[in-house]
Structure 1
Amino acid sequence: MPLVDMPLESLLKYEGRNPRPADFDAYWERAIAEMKAIDPQIELRPSEFQVPYAECFDLYFTGVKGARIYAKYVRPKHATSPHPAIVQFHGYSGNSGDWSDKIQYAALGFSFFSLDCRGQGGLSEDTGGVKGTTLRGHIIRGIDDHPDQLLYRDIFLDTAQLTGIAMSMPEVDPERVGAMGGSQGGALTIACAALEPRIKRLAPVYPFLSDYKRVWEMDLAKDAYQELKDYFRRHDPQHKRQEEVFTQLGYIDIQYLADRIQGEVLMAVGLADTVCPPSTQFAAYNKIKSKKSYEIYPDFGHEGLPGFSDMTIQFMLGL
């Protein structure tokens, strides 16, 4: 088969290249405390889209830095309560999508929550206010400011806050909540389960936002990672601040959150993925200490992986 990265036996031993900030744990404990201190001011509005066996709601809450965050919420009408729930996260620049892929879980007796990432293709706010460039990407938003200003810090916290809201719903069993998503959504699934460790099952697909330095060294800072190359070309053309920049990115590198996960993990990887290289995905996977497994697609890249949606449903039925 074509080899765009390491052989699988090497991937399973790879530990990552990006620097880990010395105060990484304190950084995230401070962030979680900030999130927990917020009055979320939850608002539920019945959606225009409805089906006979479920109720569909537009859910709004206040996240860190005062942003109003949107999520779709579907709950089954006739399921026993409390029942299991899923939180879902979308790909980079997208949104929570149509209702149609969410109601299938309601038909199985799950409540289902799907986040719009702040400042991307949906309805959630980006309150902005950072120093430095904001050109072309959320990875580098806040990179020339205090680490607390990194935008993905706030997005990671939004995922955990939404999950806490889901767990607080009287119809949801907080001990039976799962998380899922692909690409950016896969990264957010890992970050969410790290910051809200009560998540019991998670199914990330080719997770993004991992091992940034490895991406750059492979000359794959393009497509979803293009902003890394753009940043250096415009703001540090001789890479004099290279170590500082990658260390700052280390605060939002999911590989360093992965060891906090307590739930069971099922990850899908395409070995021909040149958007999120397999080694960067395994940098996170190899740090997970909880029960875990992976599904490999040797000839597939950053695209639909046949059968994995069905595997995910079967996996989540174990909640």
Structure 2
Amino acid sequence: MTLFDLPLDELWRHRPRVSRPADLDSFWEETLADARAAAAPAVATRVDTALRGVATYDVSFTGYAGHQVKAWLNLPAAASGPLPVVVEFIGYGGGRGRPHEWLLWSAAGYAHLVMDTRGQGASWRGGDTPDPGPDGAGPSVPGFMTRGVLDPATYYYRRLITDAVRAVEVAAELPGVDATRLAVVGASQGGGLALAAASLAAGRVAAVVSQVPFLCHIRRAVTITDADPYAELVRFCRVHPDRAAAVLATVDYVDMVHLVPRASAPALFSAALMDQICPPSTVFAAYHAYAGPKEMEVYEWDGHEGGRAHFAQRGMEFLASALK
């Protein structure tokens, strides 16, 4: 890895001009209204694990169009009283895996809801939620960036972002949770979903931790990196050049630079200057567009790991302060 994007001093000034879809607000308002109309009560079933310090529940809730979405809920076993809750979203290609893979936030004293990723969970961690949309299936290996990409109405990320907002709404209604102290967190794709949830469920989210987020300034990303997942869009447009304009118009509806001006919760971002998967200029574009109070951690020598354990510690400190 090498430094390939803008120098750090330029990144702090990087505020690209973007063209927000004129119907962006109505698109998401109608999408979420439909999902809420199709919603059914969440079901949480206690799971017997070997974890003695954690109580685990297998959660099913309804996301986009009433589709069933899976999640894990980990609670500190000895906790009493309403707990602050962390909703976590997962990186590209991964699923919810097993409960013991998600112990950080419950160990820190939070209720922790980990949302499975529809259709994913066959690359590096298993998943249990199919994607029954018009172009969907699952679990499957990546290719999600181009699933239904010719129309915002059929695009995969319309469904996944809706799931993320619904996960926040479900988490706020869990018994034993303090809904006024709800945070969203994630890395890469999960970081992008955390920003989306903070933007589209703004009244519910009290804090955000977004590590090297994906889905930020997508139009720039596809021109400066050869790395997947953005390169999936490049390959599609190379084969279908006559459809490239439609592709770019669709991804505008799920681009964080267009959504985060709606967000208001305090947010902690990270960017890595050698990150070829989520280039730093794209992360900074979303950071500068974010409307709420915000902080940025920069890792000069990191690639997509984006701060590793250092950022995990910083995230815990940030939430301890934001949700105190």
TM-score (norm 1): 0.91
Q: Give the letter aligned to residue 207 of structure 1.
A: P
Equivalent position to 1:175, from 152, 174, 180: 180
Kindly indicate whether the alpha-carbon contact (under 8 Å) linking 2:93 and 2:141 is maintained by their aligned counterparts in 1: no
Kindly indicate whether the alpha-carbon contact (under 8 Å) linking 2:64 and 2:160 is maintained by their aligned counterparts in 1: no
Question: 1:14-50: CA deviations, max 9, x gaps?
Answer: 2346642221111111112112212234221222424
Q: 1:75 to 1:136 in 2, by over 3 A?
A: closer
Equivalent position to 1:293, from 288, 292, 295: 295
Q: Give the letter aligned to residue 4 of structure 1.
A: F
SS of residue paired to 2:318: helix
Structure 1 unaligned segments of length 5 or more: list them: none
1:231 aligned residue: 236
**How far is the alpha carbon of 1:287 from its aligned partner?**
0.7
For the pair 1:314 / 2:317, whether they are aligned, the reply is: yes
For the pair 1:153 / 2:155, whether they are aligned, the reply is: no
Equivalent position to 2:252, from 230, 250, 253: 250
SS of residue paired to 1:91: coil
Q: 1:100 to 1:29 in 2, by over 3 A?
A: same
SS of residue paired to 1:148: coil
1:129 aligned residue: 134
For the pair 1:57 / 2:60, whether they are aligned, the reply is: no
1:222 aligned residue: 227
Equivalent position to 2:284, from 282, 285, 288: 282
1:110 aligned residue: 110
Question: 1:243-302: CA deviations, max 9, x gaps?
Answer: 332122100111111111111111111111111111111111111121100111111111
RMSD: 2.2
Equivalent position to 1:144, from 111, 127, 150: 150
Q: 1:184 to 1:228 in 2, by over 3 A?
A: same
Equivalent position to 1:186, from 186, 191, 196: 191
Percent sequence identity over aligned pairs: 33
Question: 1:193-241: CA deviations, max 9, x gaps?
Answer: 11111211111111011212112222x14322121112112222xxx44
Kindly indicate whether the alpha-carbon contact (under 8 Å) linking 2:135 and 2:148 is maintained by their aligned counterparts in 1: yes
**How far is the alpha carbon of 1:13 from its aligned partner?**
2.6
Distance 1:45 1:107 in 2: 21
Q: Give the letter aligned to residue 223 of structure 1.
A: D
Kindly indicate whether the alpha-carbon contact (under 8 Å) linking 2:57 and 2:72 is maintained by their aligned counterparts in 1: yes
- How many aligned positions are there? 312
Kindly indicate whether the alpha-carbon contact (under 8 Å) linking 2:272 and 2:306 is maintained by their aligned counterparts in 1: no
TM-score (norm 2): 0.90
Kindly indicate whether the alpha-carbon contact (under 8 Å) linking 1:67 and 1:124 is maintained by their aligned counterparts in 2: no
